[in-house]
Chains A and B, each alone.
Chain A
Amino acid sequence: MSETKTLNEKIVVNSRYNKIWQSFKSSKTALISLFIVLAFFAVSIFGSFFLPYDPNLTEQNISNPQRPSETHWFGTDEQGRDIFSRVVDGTKVSILVGVMSVAFSLFFGTILGAISGYYGGKVDIIIMRIMDIMFAIPSILLSVCLMMVLGTGIDKAIVAIGLVAIPQYARIVRGNVLAEKENDYVKAAKIIGSSDIVIIFKNILPNILSSIIVKSTLGISTAILDVAALGFLGLGVKPPQSEWGTMLSESRKFVTQAPHTMIFPGAAISITVLVFNLLGDKLRDALDPKFFN
């Protein structure tokens, strides 16, 4: 008896994911964006092993940026560092901060949102008021303040960007939990005596996973933009670590004289953010509950 039950469950789950995958697969753009996102992950992990130059290697007898050439594909900056190597090396920072800061805000946002939505009442009011207050502060300025206090570094950027984004995740999870908890399966779980934690994390969360996944994918692109903005304001990573926003900020004085120093790092940011946005959009299309109707 119980075997049939699990089998049935498996079939239901499988067919659901199959449907989503089928719908996702049917869009060429979706597949391409997924492929490019995976390629970015690969570059961020393995890219450092295949660099033509050491990204921090300076040349003594150079005082001006060099134009792109056969030896330096993207040219060099004013210290003679190879821009191609620095752009590839910078992928690591952007992807790492993007993914980790989203993981950070997702972790705390989910817990706070789930508690808020599930228990309601005073707990809900207190948590959501705090989230409202955080929402009232323009996020980039709040991150800037945190970075001023914490100092520069990848780990600190993750905390500063992740912390600021918590309310967005908390709101989405809360809204979804509020809607889900009225369903019969939650009531049934309560009757058979499941604990609240089990109900929240084992019963409710899997059902609201789709909106969390979409939000997280789009969140990665926002986080990558934020870390670039912080770098541009001089609050990003510790030098000489290459980071796209910092590279832009360092080359600002050469903007008209040597535009290539700014074009390549900026293009890298834009393309990365664009593919994550595209993937998020396509995931949303595929996971849209309207699709099942």
Chain B
Amino acid sequence: MVKYIIKRLLLLIPVLLGVATIVFLIMRVFLTDPSQTILGKSASDEQRLEWRQKQGLEEPLHKQYFIFLQDFVKGNLGKSYATNASVVTEIFSRFPATIELAISGIVLALIFGVSLGIISAIKRNSIFDSLGMTIALVGVSVPIFWLGVLFIIVFSNSFIPSVGRIDVLLKPTNITGFYLLDSLLCGKLDSFFDALKHLILPSCALAMYSMAVIARMTRSSMLETLSQDYVRTARAKGLPEKKVIFFHALRNALIPIVTVVGLQFGSLLAGAVLTESIFSWPGIGKYTVECIQNSDIPVVQGMVLILATIFVFVNLAVDIIYAFLDPRIKFSKRGC
């Protein structure tokens, strides 16, 4: 197992270098002069040249590429054009907000997705099944940003807030950056509930798509395991139906679901780009959109690199969990 993990970790190196190369190609080679957007049209040619020299854009390309890779390996992703602060600090200071949102999203998606999938599978071809699968179909079809907008319209006059992360007055002391955790650590229950209230709409909007994907996957996976011989044996043994479903069928049906959940967590982080800006959630997504609008290229490219790195590691974790859950993977050489 350790050998497998080490091998997989080593394989990540070329992938990550490849990601860096693609980002470099897009952002440095194909991009026309960014100084125009940053300095404005009124800037003189000399000012522009000076700015370009300062940013290291006047060096020959191969040298730029080398420096870029060197910095990437060291974890230095450059400085924001707008604030001149380090991209890594800028991004990581906003990261807890996004992680908090993404985790709530995946938890919601998992709870509702798996339940919906199980109900649809057990009550196959019933009204519950068609209802569940219609919800899932709508879930994969409605754009996340429009769903957010609908939530804001519907809940605009209710007690559920649709803007921001917490009431300014209730902000807990910054310990971990996760407001839910911080407010509990400080013992401020009112902050905790306020933060929770602010989480409702954005996390529901974010969860919708993943929930739908998980529901569909759970349904088909459950249907497959329910038709297996061992399920029939369990039933023949006279086990109660609940036990058959939850202990025999679901346990095996969960294996492909784990993969989907892992992949969904990656896409949730990317989906945050769209969700956050709608709910003014102060995470990396909202920040990315602002940087896209201001052509702050180092930040956007840094974001791509960081998210791709996370995505790759999440996938690795999923594969490892998968191997743990499914003993057949390790013993597949015996042939069955």
Q: Hey, which bits of chain A sit against chain B, CB under 8 A?
A: 129-130, 132-134, 136-142, 144-146, 148-150, 221, 225, 228-229, 232-235, 245, 248, 252, 255-256, 259, 262-263, 266, 269-270, 273-274, 277-278, 281
Contacts and interface: CB of A to CB of B under 8 A. Distances in A.
Interface SS, B side: helix
B15 A270 contact: no
Contacts of A232: 143, 145, 274
Contact of B14 (A129, A262, A266): A129
Interface in B251-292: 266-267, 269-271, 273-274, 278, 288-289, 292
Interface of B: 14-16, 18-19, 22-23, 26-27, 30-32, 137-138, 140-143, 145-146, 149-150, 152-153, 156, 266-267, 269-271, 273-274, 278, 288-289, 292-293, 295, 297, 300-301, 303-304, 307-308, 311-312
Nearest to A275: B141
Contact of A138 (B16, B30, B146, B311): B311
A37 to B, nearest CB: 13
Looking at chain A's contact residues, is the secondary structure mostly helix, strand, loop, or mixed? Answer: helix
Contacts of A248: 145-146, 149
Contacts of B19: 133, 136-137
A136 B137 contact: no
Contact of B150 (A141, A145, A266, A274): A266
Contact of A234 (B16, B26, B292, B297): B292
B146 A270 contact: yes
17 contacts: A132-B15, A133-B15, A136-B308, A137-B307, A141-B288, A141-B307, A142-B304, A144-B273, A145-B23, A148-B292, A148-B300, A255-B149, A255-B152, A263-B153, A266-B150, A270-B138, A277-B141
Given A138-B308, A233-B289, A274 B138 contact: yes
Given A233-B289, A234-B292, A262-B149, A149 B27 contact: yes
Given A139-B270, A274-B142, 18 more contacts: A130-B18, A134-B22, A136-B16, A136-B311, A136-B312, A137-B307, A145-B27, A148-B31, A148-B297, A149-B31, A229-B274, A235-B292, A248-B149, A255-B153, A256-B152, A266-B143, A269-B143, A274-B137
